[in-house]
Chains A and B, each alone.
Chain A
Amino acid sequence: MLKINDLHASVEDKAILRGINLEIKPGEVHAIMGPNGSGKSTLSSVIAGKEEYEVTKGCIEFEGEDIGELAAEERAHKGVFLSFQYPVEIPGVSVTNFMKTAINESRKAQGLEDMPANEMLKLIRQKAEMLEIDRKFLSRSLNQGFSGGEKKRNEIFQMAMLEPKLAILDETDSGLDIDALRIVANGVNKLKSEDNAVLVITHYQRLLDHIVPDYVHVLYNGRIVKSGTKELAHELEEKGYDWIKEEVNA
């Protein structure tokens, strides 16, 4: 589904990604872990198409197609979804209207008519229920004044609405208390199928107890320096990242 080949990316001439190789197949859950500043968020932004980052080498293939030149919205239309580490506050646009616009723009890109209003409402209600989101919350301005947990839950609500093929969860566990974490993880697990894939980017292992990865990769200094199964995550939780750094530097 996703194939990243020798990906180099920089921002303002500063190289951040220095040769990433990663392949994710349908039905898989991958986790990328790593110390602060290793390039985790950059990788997720580059996959989602943030223009600030310049891809200097390598390529990103999604379902066999090079998406490197596609705009962020085109990648979204193809089924790439990024759950933001810091969701942006957008005053004046309600959660509901934002979702309506996003869904109908995606449909438009696929040559479909707008989703009928009643169908949309039903879908919104159903997905909100799944994530235990209060209906009042949906008429509030997007992310404005939301708590950290509400923002993250809202990200997963959007994922549930858009049903992406590849969901990238960037530090989704930060700012979540244990109950919210459980709700968010349940949401992700319910959306999981044989046809889609999840890439979890996290600093800590805690989320991976709930969203169990098939593969764990360690990102350090812009490269994937170690890959393994979920046991690797436990090892990192226990021993920290220093031994990885030492291993790489040696």
Chain B
Amino acid sequence: MDLKEKLVSSFLAFENRVDLDSEVHDIRSQAIKNFETSGFPTKKDEAWKYTSLKGVLKHDYSVFPKHADAIDYKDVKEYFIHDIESYKIVFVDGKYSSHLSKTTHDGIDVCLMSAALTKTKYKILIDNYFNKIAEKDSITSLNTAFASEGAFIHIPKGKIVEKPIQILHFSTGKESATMLQPRNLIVVDENSHVQIIERHQSLTGNPVLTNSVTEIFTNKRAIVDYYKIQNDRQEASLIDNTFISQKDQSICSVHTFSFGGKLTRNNLNFYQKGERIDSILKGVTIIGGKQHVDHNTLVHHIEPNCESHQDYKGIFDQSATGVFNGKVVVNKEAQKTNAFQANNNILVSDKATINTKPQLEIFADDVKCSHGCTIGQIDESALFYMRSRGIPEKEARALLMYAFSNNVLESVKIPQIKNRINTLIAEKLDVNIGFDL
């Protein structure tokens, strides 16, 4: 039985465990139909032309992992940003881990999707927001069909949440292969501000496939800063589907740091539903071996006077492959749009590949839209300049690559995250960089 059949046939058993009468039931049923009709995307689908799931789908994944043993904080501490006070929502093999978590209902809700889906006090929020901006494509539908657990965050009006919120998904590798489908919902009301860090981490070398869906609603004048740290083990793959709706004058930034994993696909979608909105998409990808990272972004400018800023840097070594597909749509009504997109790449080895494709669909006539992509090698003249000052070649190369990805880090607001990313970059480039740039 292939993975698709297995998933479809296990849907019934899954539905029996959850509330058949809820409205979400209809959403799930429709979603499994969508998935059943289209199946997993193949390279024939335009949006998946350069990313094949074949190698990832061959494993016999356990779709509902058994309850795992508890894990000790000390064993996984390194995966947290631990030098900062924060809220934590932690899952182990898809199940909530209360002893690793620190949730709250004190003025804000930082808790679980399972609670939001079943408790009546959250019904209005679920009715208004759940699955309202998630696409109906097969991969997202697959997640929707089984949506039951993940992070639920609701920040009411006018709250500046000082502590960042960390969402961590661990997989223990207890099963020979595990499939996880977390579902997150984040609602940030007017004038509020929240910072969120998300990470998926497998703890063994067993294959893991995570198909995650996150919906983020950024209401008027709200600010959301979202950081995705992707530095997983070699047999771990991630399909991240994030959908962001923004209202007037809101600012939402998503930083994606992709440093590891077998296959990583980031479907990052912004919908600007108001005026004077700013959307910020930044990414640093540093991979080697046979790793694959695909950034598939969409910014949909629907109304006038909005901005978007995309800046993705990639460094690819050995046989690593990268994809950047950045789509910007500017509706006819969206006059005075200012959309900026840049994708710069360095291929360190002859065998590394990057496919980069800007895609602009502009229907308004008074807009500023720019895009640029570069693919290059290390600048030899810069290298000689540094070496002539006594900096050895290896360090000079690393320093240049570090500097290359550096401007993406400038917009990281939490110093502890910036330090962590700096450290990870230095590790990836195998060099000791003893200072801040």
> Do B388 and A76 touch across chains, with their CB atoms under 8 A apart?
yes
Chain A residue with the shortest CB-CB distance to B387: A72
Closest to A48 in B: B388
Contact A92 B403 (CB under 8 A): yes
Query: Does B407 make an interface contact (CB < 8 A)?
Result: yes
A146 sits at the interface (CB 8 A): no
CB within 8 Å: A-B pair count: 81
Which B residues are in CB contact (< 8 Å) with A91?
403, 407
Q: Which of B6-14, B333-341, B392-400 lines the interface with chain A? A: B392-400
A90 lies within 8 A of B385 (CB): yes
A94: Cβ under 8 A from any B Cβ: yes
Q: Which of A92-125 contact B (CB under 8 A)?
A: 92-94, 97-98, 100-106, 109, 114
- The residue of chain A having its C-beta at the shortest distance from the C-beta of B382 within the complex is A88
Pick from B384, B389, B393: contact of A50, CB under 8 Å: B384
Contact assessment for B388 and A49 in the assembled complex, using a CB-CB cutoff below 8 Å: yes
- Interface size on B (CB < 8 Å)? 27
A72 to B395, CA, bound (A): 13
Q: Is A178 an interface residue (CB 8 A)?
A: no
B313 to chain A, nearest CB (A): 10
* Alpha-carbon separation in the docked complex, A94 to B435 (Å): 11
Which of the residues B387, B389, B435 comes within 8 Å of A71, measured between beta carbons?
Answer: B387
For B437, list chain A residues within 8 Å (CB). Answer: 92-94, 97
Docked-complex contact A92 and B407, CB < 8 angstroms = yes
A93 and B399 contact, CB distance less than 8 A = yes
The answer to the question of A77 belonging to the interface, with a C-beta cut-off of 8 Å to chain B, is: yes
Check A76–B387 contact: CB distance below 8 A. Answer: yes
Residues 392-437 of B at the A interface (beta carbon under 8 Å): 392-393, 395-396, 399-400, 402-404, 406-407, 434-437
With A105-B392, A105-B395 as known contacts, state yes or no: A90 contacts B382, CB within 8 Å. Answer: yes
| Any A CB within 8 A of the CB of B386 | yes
Residues of A near B395 (CB, < 8 A) are 101, 105
Task: From known contacts A90-B403, A91-B407, A101-B399, infer whether A71 and B393 are also in contact, taking CB-CB under 8 Å.
Answer: yes
Residues of B within 8 A of A94 (CB): 437
Tell me if A202 counts as interface (CB < 8 A to partner B). no
Say whether A90 contacts B400, CB under 8 Å: yes
Any A CB within 8 A of the CB of B366? no
B390 on interface, CB distance cutoff 8 Å: yes
Which residue of chain B has its CB nearest to the CB of A89?
A: B382
Task: Report the separation of the CA atoms of residues A75 and B436 in the bound assembly, to the nearest whole angstrom.
Answer: 27
**B410 CB, nearest partner CB in chain A, Å:** 9
| Contact A84 to B385, CB < 8 A, known contacts A90-B400, A92-B406, A101-B399 | yes
- The verdict on A87 contacting chain B, using a C-beta distance below 8 Å, is yes
Chain A residue nearest in CB terms to B385: A88
Q: Per-residue CB proximity of B362-393 to A under 8 Å, as 1/0? A: 00000000000000000111101111111111
The minimal Cβ–Cβ distance linking A247 to chain B, given in whole angstroms, is 35
Q: Mark B249-279, 1 if CB is under 8 A from A, else 0.
A: 0000000000000000000000000000000
A130 within 8 A of B: no
Q: Is A73 engaged at the interface, CB distance under 8 Å to the other chain? A: yes
Nearest CB of A to B169, in Å: 32
CB of B385 within 8 A of CB of A158, answer: no
Alpha-carbon distance A93/B403, docked complex (angstroms): 6
Indicate if the CB atoms of A73 and B381 lie closer than 8 Å: no
Q: How far is the CB of B105 from chain A (nearest CB, A)?
A: 43
Residues on B with beta carbons closer than 8 Å to the beta carbon of A101: 391, 395, 399, 435
Question: Which of A48, A52, A73, A97 is close to B392, meaning CB atoms less than 8 Å apart?
Answer: A73
Report the minimum CB–CB distance from A76 to chain B (whole Å): 4
A102 nearest CB across to chain B (Å): 4
The answer on a CB contact under 8 Å between A82 and B388 is: yes
Q: Which 6 A-B pairs have the closest CB atoms?
A: A92-B403, A76-B390, A72-B387, A92-B406, A88-B385, A102-B389
